[in-house]
Amino acid sequence: MGMREAGISLAGTLIVVFARFITAVRGRWDGVAPAEEQRIYFANHASHGDFVLIWTVLPRRMRFATRPVAGSDYWLKSSLRRFIGRDVFNAVLIDRDRERRTSDPIVQMTEALDAGSSLIVFPEGTRNTTDARLLPFKSGLFHLAQARPNVALVPVWIDNLNRVMPKGEFVPVPLICTVTFGAALSIAETETKQQFLARAEAALLALSPKASAP
Amino acid sequence: MTMPHPDLVAVLGCLLAVLVLASAVGYVLQRRLSPDGSNAVVENLNDRIRAWWIMVVLMGLALIGGKTGVTLLFAFCSFAALREFITLTNTRRADHWALAAGFFIMLPVQYYLIWIEWYGLYSIFIPVYAFLLMPIVAAARGDTEHFLVRIAEVQWALMICVFCTSHVPALLSLDIPGYQGRNVLLIAFLVIVVQMSDVLQYVWGKLLGRTKIAPRLSPSKTVEGFIGGALSATAVGAALSWMTPFTPLQAAFLALVIVLMGFFGGLVMSAIKRDRGIKDWGHLIAGHGGFLDRLDSVVFSAPIFFHLVRYGWSTT
């Protein structure tokens, strides 16, 4: 292993240790087992640390086969972010600007899937800073599911991380977080975009602890 | 590093012997009653025994490490407990800086004051300074919704998780004539009595428990378990007087105080859990729930034990 790979591996370990120190995060595999099969994990998005938490609770071998999909506008901004986003997490960086972008995000994602990776996507498209538990899904998840209908879609609810690190703060407050994996779904042949996205949203919301609270 | 005191070695040796015995019993029970892992009581018992191993080993290492080891261990316990407690509060975005200050300023400063043995300041740092400063930080953000509830919750969390817990390592600062260099044994005495009281109450409750003592707070606690556990833990305390500066009668009295405070502290913490609709504070220790589930009785008894010993035996 070269110096560079060692540095990347060390940075990955440090990030996981830090995430555990702050959040004592626990993964709950409620609908699927942590098995090594190809998956698209779709999660609620409240913080830049979201994929770090999912990554932390994945078993080590699955971690390196799972690539987060993230906005290049944020992750290419500074050399530290580039290192973390591109090198440590091996993120699929997509351009969210429809007008200027040169590559199609769905093509980038299907290429990553065809190369054997699993993906972490945030179908809300942006961080949710509202009081609503979930923003309406963008159509990306639908197009991705249509393009690769055989890959299992696993809903993942990340709880509490928005309180650890609200938008605009830079010191995290240590709080216990959980990451809940629900039962996989797949797109039906006849399903319309609205039907599928509504079903995916409902599957994700059902994992939120507040959904089961009295 | 100096060699640990022979009394400490003896105590740790006894604890290891008890754990070896417990593990052997757990193993036999598992082979007999739960070979396929289906008997929940046996599985829980074995989870608990495994967690006890980790706790005793950590505690033993900390005690052998002396002041540094004990202060670091309890600072970490405070951190983990505070993390569990704050998770369940109603804090809002506007409390962010107050909470960050609680974790990253108040907690380290309190343990630093314990470390330099500044009794006059660590006794009032959180009850006075944190009490006044934290609401100011929260108020500066201008969010008044549930303000009194929010600041009260944060202060309560700091008092329980940091202030009270820090009185365990503070026992090392006491100066008891004829007992120099053995103060870590006071911590061992406190922790053993509290934890034996929990275990013995559980055992007596399982054997004889009929009458629920606080059905709304803690349905598993019974009058029989409480009386049997309190008396036998007091006896354990008296039997441990050889490692303390106390006579057997004094040790029994202090053990009884520890047991009573621990028991009622457990009820208070149960009331909070009920209020928030949860069963355990966290999930870090298999079979035990969170740090606070294991720490609650120590938290309530530590400051009282500290002050009784300080007024009765210490020259500082």
DSSP A41-62: EEE--SSTTHHHHHHHHS-HHH
Report how many Cβ contacts below 8 Å link chain A to chain B.
35
3-state class of B88 per DSSP?
Answer: coil
Å from B145 to nearest chain A CA? Answer: 15
Task: Name the pLDDT band for A189 (thresholds 50, 70, 90).
Answer: confident
- State how far the Cα of B113 lies from the Cα of B115, in Å rounded to an integer: 5
- State how far the Cα of A169 lies from the Cα of B104, in Å rounded to an integer: 15
Q: Say if the Cβ atoms of A173 and B82 lie within 8 Å.
A: no
- State how far the Cα of B305 lies from the Cα of B253, in Å rounded to an integer: 11
> ipTM strictly over 0.85?
no
3-state class of B251 per DSSP?
Answer: helix
Å from A209 to nearest chain B CA? Answer: 12
Task: Name the pLDDT band for B301 (thresholds 50, 70, 90).
Answer: very high
Give the number of domains in chain A. Answer: 1
- State how far the Cα of B207 lies from the Cα of B258, in Å rounded to an integer: 23
Which of B76, B103, B158, B291 is most worth mutating to test chain A (most A CB atoms within 10 A of its CB)? B103
Cα B80–A129–A87 angle (5° rounding)? 70
- State how far the Cα of B125 lies from the Cα of A19, in Å rounded to an integer: 30
Residues of B in contact with A175 (CB under 8 A): 83, 86-87
Main-chain phi, psi angles of A56, to 5 degrees: -65, -40
A190: exposed, middle or buried (C-beta count within 10 Å: 0-12, 13-18, 19+)? exposed
Which of B87, B88, B143 is most worth mutating to test chain A (most A CB atoms within 10 A of its CB)? B87
Mean pLDDT, all residues of chain B? 87
Taking residue A30's Cβ as centre, other Cβ atoms within 10 Å add up to 13
- State how far the Cα of A153 lies from the Cα of B270, in Å rounded to an integer: 40
Q: Which residue range forms the structural domain that includes residue A132?
A: 3-212
Task: Name the pLDDT band for A214 (thresholds 50, 70, 90).
Answer: very low
Looking at chain B, the whole-number percentage of residues with pLDDT higher than 90 is 44
Q: Say if the Cβ atoms of B87 and A213 lie within 8 Å.
A: no
Q: Residue ranges per domain, chain B?
A: 1-64, 70-313
Contacts of B263 (CB under 8 A, 6+ apart): B197, B201, B226, B230, B297
Cα B266–B264–B191 angle (5° rounding)? 65
Helix (H) or strand (E) holding A182: none
Query: What CATH number is attached to the domain comprising A149?
Result: 3.40.1130.10
Using CB atoms, which residue from A166, A175, A176 is nearest to B93? A166
Q: What is the tens place of the pLDDT at every residue in A83-123?
A: 888 888 888 888 877 777 778 888 888 899 899 899 999 99
Instruction: Give the count of alpha carbons within 13 A of B265, CB side only.
Output: 26
Q: Say if the Cβ atoms of A175 and B87 lie within 8 Å.
A: yes
Task: Name the pLDDT band for B14 (thresholds 50, 70, 90).
Answer: confident
Q: What does the pLDDT read at residue A8?
A: 85
Q: Say if the Cβ atoms of A24 and B91 lie within 8 Å.
A: no
Residues of A in contact with B291 (CB under 8 A): none
Q: Say if the Cβ atoms of A173 and B86 lie within 8 Å.
A: yes
Taking residue B48's Cβ as centre, other Cβ atoms within 10 Å add up to 18
Contacts of A192 (CB under 8 A, 6+ apart): none
Helical spans, DSSP H, in chain A: 3-23, 50-57, 60-63, 72-75, 79-82, 105-114, 140-147, 161-164, 193-205, 209-212
Q: How far is CA A161 from CA A24, A47, A175, B40, in A?
A: 11, 7, 8, 33
